[in-house]
């Protein structure tokens, strides 16, 4: 069984360490697991029910929902902005939570990982992302975690894919997500 994981990156910065962490996930994905980075989050307008009209929703939001519908599971990469989740990631969750009760996240496994400059690696933001995804209907994998502290120093001269400790933990998270996709089929 092949598992397709949609990666949503909560940082838009060109040199984002979370984007690099997502790139590492693409490269180290175990056999049978495909990680696809969802592009275009910067183009998705802030969620507004007035513009979320069937057949007339913004193209960027439709593209996000299409990418999400094609995925078996999700991996969110979240930095920490002022102690919480970045707006771009929260906005993506909001769009994917609709229509209420039948959004693209409904019942699908979601894990949240990330890196941040601080000493805890963005755990507050990651906890907030888990909370929002769960309320949106996702099956949040509470045990699948990776918080890499000190990103500015740790990744100053190395890409996360070249950090053996980080890639080992990332592979573990990917295996946990893939197992959660397979679990309902085994039941």
What 8-state DSSP symbol labels residue 160?
G
Residue 184 pLDDT: 65
Q: Which of 62-66, 156-160, 178-182 has the lowest mean pLDDT?
A: 156-160
In the prediction, which pLDDT does 64 show? 98
pLDDT of residue 100: 84
Domain that holds residue 101: 3-186
CA distance 105 to 74: 8
What confidence score (pLDDT) does residue 120 get?
81
> Residue 186: its pLDDT value, please?
54
Stretch 145-168: mean pLDDT: 92
Contact predicate 56/26, CB 8 Å = no
pLDDT in tens, 14-30: 899 999 999 999 999 99
Using alpha carbons only, what angle is made at residue 141 by residues 87 and 168, rounded to the nearest 5 degrees? 95
The CATH number given to whatever domain includes residue 121 is 3.40.50.360
Mean pLDDT of 47-52: 96
Angle between helices 164-186 and 17-28 (to 10 degrees): 60
| Nearest CA-CA partner of 149 in 100, 172, 115 | 115
pTM, to two decimals: 0.95
Q: How many domains does the chain have?
A: 1
Q: Which DSSP state fits 41? A: G
């Amino acid at each position: 069984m092949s598992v397709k994981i949609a990666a949503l990156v909560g940082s838009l910065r060109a040199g984002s360490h979370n984007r690099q962490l997502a790139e590492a996930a693409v490269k180290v994905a175990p056999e049978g697991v495909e990680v696809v980075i969802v592009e275009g989050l910067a183009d998705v307008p802030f969620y507004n029910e007035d513009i979320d009209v069937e057949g007339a929703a913004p193209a960027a939001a439709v593209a996000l929902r299409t990418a999400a519908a094609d995925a078996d599971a999700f991996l969110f990469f979240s930095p920490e902005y002022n102690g919480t989740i970045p707006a771009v990631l929260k906005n993506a969750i909001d769009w994917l939570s609709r229509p209420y009760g039948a959004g693209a996240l409904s019942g699908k496994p979601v894990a949240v990982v990330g890196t941040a400059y601080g000493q805890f690696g963005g755990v507050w933001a990651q906890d907030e992302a888990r909370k929002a995804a769960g309320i949106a209907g996702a099956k949040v994998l509470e045990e699948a975690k990776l918080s890499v502290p000190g990103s500015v120093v740790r990744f100053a001269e190395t890409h996360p894919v070249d950090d053996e400790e980080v890639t080992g933990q990332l592979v573990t998270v990917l295996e946990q997500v893939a197992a959660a996709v397979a679990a309902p089929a085994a039941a």
